[in-house]
Amino acid sequence: MNALSEQVLSELRHLLGEMSDGGSVGPSVYDTARALQFHGNVTGRRDAYAWLIAQQQADGGWGSADFPLFRHAPTWAALLALQRADPLPGAADAVQAATRFLERQPDPYANAVPEDAPIGAELILPQLCGEAASFLGGVAFPRHPALLPLRQACLVKLGAVATLPSGHPLLHSWEAWGTSPTTACPDDDGSIGLSPAATAAWRAHAVTQGSTPQVGRADAYLQAASRATRSGIEGVVPNVWPISVFEPCWSLYTLHLAGLFAHPALAEAVRVIVAQLDARLGVRGLGPTLHFAADADDTAVALCVLRLAGRDPAVDALRHFEIGELFVTFPGERNASVSTNIHALHALRLLGKPTAGTSAYVEANRNQHSLWDNEKWHVSWLYPTAHAVAALAQGKPQWRDERALAALLQAQRDDGGWGAGRASTFEETAYALFALNVLDGREEPTVRRRIAQAVARAREWMLARHAAHALPQTPLWIGKELYCPTRVVRVAELAGLWLAIRWQRRVLAEGAGAAP
């Protein structure tokens, strides 16, 4: 176990040292399909089309059947890309299967918009439906009527603006509303809104309209984004890139949840990242990367990390996003995020600021099991729950949450792991351990023994599935579809495993100390 702990620490140190390349993000069906559709040259992207077809599920749709709300955008996009790639092997069959899938699907936007709807759904889905209608003919497919007034209202606002400033959040969905390249300009990374789909769409319009001076930068961006997926296939792109602030911020925050933030083996790598964040944090806060609008979530987590590192950052950067008793991720967003407010609460408590309103909001957003779900940035309830437990316990030694603890232990699967879908995942099991780590220190010895038993089962599950330098494969983070920020998730997996191993050593040591 000591050798494995050292191996885990070594891999963590390596991951932290890599975080200067813009970030690592798994491949996206939606963005790849949109980029293929806008690329034009079908035969020049055979491998990418083959990858897209290979991602289709047995029921004809794309995306996990465990989370049906997030299947519409990738399925529509794949269908539109493949219906013009008829000569390629498997394309026609994939289109037929996708059409049958859509005919059978209930419409989650028939009457209202779910709180955890994918990013840009109100712009993207109506546009995809409109495009598909031209060749699907009389097929009765979901048309998402509840999204139509939201799309129209957004288009009216956009119509009043000649050009959006670089990094504006709406640029992330430019492919769903932009028609003229003059309405956007590539940022310093060459992207339109950190989105491969938006950038590919903008590039296609720019070439058609003869506006080519910046097409080369867009090409370079799309190539770099493709490399970030580590798929090795040209044209396969991620859902969002770069994430040069988000990736290191969340990774260091995760180390704190596992008790690894100040570990000597990681000290130098942590110091380098902290120095970069300290230099980047301005009065307006931080976004997922330097060339995108600041948001409350990235700003709050950055403040947490800097304070944990002994810095004294100003809370003013977070106050820009405060409206009444809560924090909005982006000004003008459709609905507030539970996890953004959890992170704001954690930052405020670490900085010694009043938190009554934010704390009340976080407490009020539990579900009937006293856990946190319905989160707009992550599909699993284990993510906000782990972070909420850490935030609520911050600076309050007597804090206890027996309801959340009981529900968390009850939710452990027979195999020893945790998961919001049909199977346990390494990432979610790690989040469960982070929460138990906080709750354990506040419980009675008998309850702590129950927790230790649960952790022992989780540890065995993790050990049976751990492989050094393995890339996470399960997308659980909410973008335009579910996606996987690879290094962020891998740090969580490794930190969870390290915590489970350390837990075992501690329990054994305590048992030896209690022996006669």
pLDDT the model gives residue 211: 65
Write out the DSSP string of 292-346: S---HHHHHHHHHHHHHTT----THHHHTTEETTEE-SSTT-SS--HHHHHHHHH
At residue 516 the predicted structure's pLDDT band, cuts being 50, 70 and 90, is very low
Let me know whether 53 and 185 are in one domain: yes
Domain membership of residue 238 (yes or no) is no
**Looking at the domain assignment, is residue 40 inside a domain?**
yes
Share of the chain above pLDDT 90, in %: 86
- Which of 172-186, 198-212, 275-289 is predicted least confidently? 198-212
φ and ψ at 250, to 5 degrees?
-70, -30
Q: Are residues 223 and 290 in the same domain?
A: no
**pLDDT tens for residues 65-83?**
999 999 999 999 999 999 9
Q: What is the pLDDT of residues 434-450, one digit of tens each?
A: 999 999 987 888 899 99
Instruction: Determine how many CB atoms are found less than 10 A away from the CB of residue 17.
Output: 12
Of the three residues 229, 262, 280, the one that is the final residue of a domain is: 229
Number of H helices, E strands in the chain: 20, 4
pLDDT of residue 209: 81
Does 391 score more than 70 pLDDT? yes
Of 229, 261, 295, the residue at which a domain comes to its end is: 229
Whether residues 279 and 304 share a domain: the answer is: yes
pLDDT score, position 86: 85
> Same domain, yes or no, for 491 and 447?
yes
- Domain with 247, as residue range(s), is 3-17+243-510
Is 516 within the bounds of a domain? no
The Cα 319–Cα 392 span in angstroms is 20
Q: For the chain, how many structural domains are there in total?
A: 2
Which CATH number fits the domain that encloses residue 55? Answer: 1.50.10.160
Is 22 inside any structural domain? no
337 and 476 share a domain? yes
Cβ-Cβ contacts under 8 Å for 507 (sequence gap 6 or more): 452, 456
Question: Which pLDDT tens digit goes with each residue over 184-234?
Answer: 999 999 999 999 999 999 999 999 887 677 899 999 999 999 999 999 999
Q: How many residues are listed for the chain in this entry?
A: 516
Residue 515 covered by a domain: no
Same domain, 301 and 158: no
Give the torsion through C-alpha atoms of 437, 441, 445, 447, to 10 deg: -50
Give 515's pLDDT tier (boundaries 50, 70, 90). Answer: very low
Task: State whether 221 and 260 are in the same domain.
Answer: no
pLDDT in tens, 122-152: 999 999 999 998 888 778 888 999 999 999 9
* Same domain, residue pair 201 and 60: yes
Give residue-wise pLDDT tens across range 12-33: 999 999 999 999 999 999 999 9
Name which of 251-255, 445-449, 509-513 the model is least confident about. 509-513
Within the chain, what is the greatest distance between any pair of CA atoms? Answer: 84
Residue 113 lies in a domain: yes
Q: Of the residues 229, 264, 292, which one is the last residue of a structural domain? A: 229
Specify whether 169 is located in the same domain as 299: no
Buried-state track 252-274, b at ≥16 Cβ within 10 A, e below 16: bbbbbbbebbeeeebeebbeebb
Q: Is the pLDDT of residue 37 over 90?
A: yes
Please check whether residue 23 lies inside any domain of the structure.
Answer: no
The residue-averaged pLDDT of 153-182 equals 93
| Residue 469 shares a structural domain with residue 448 | yes
Whether residue 512 has pLDDT greater than 80: no
Same domain, 381 and 452: yes
- Asked if the structure places residue 43 within a domain, the reply is yes
Whether residue 206 is found in the same domain as residue 252: no
pLDDT of residue 174: 97
CATH number at residue 333: 1.50.10.20
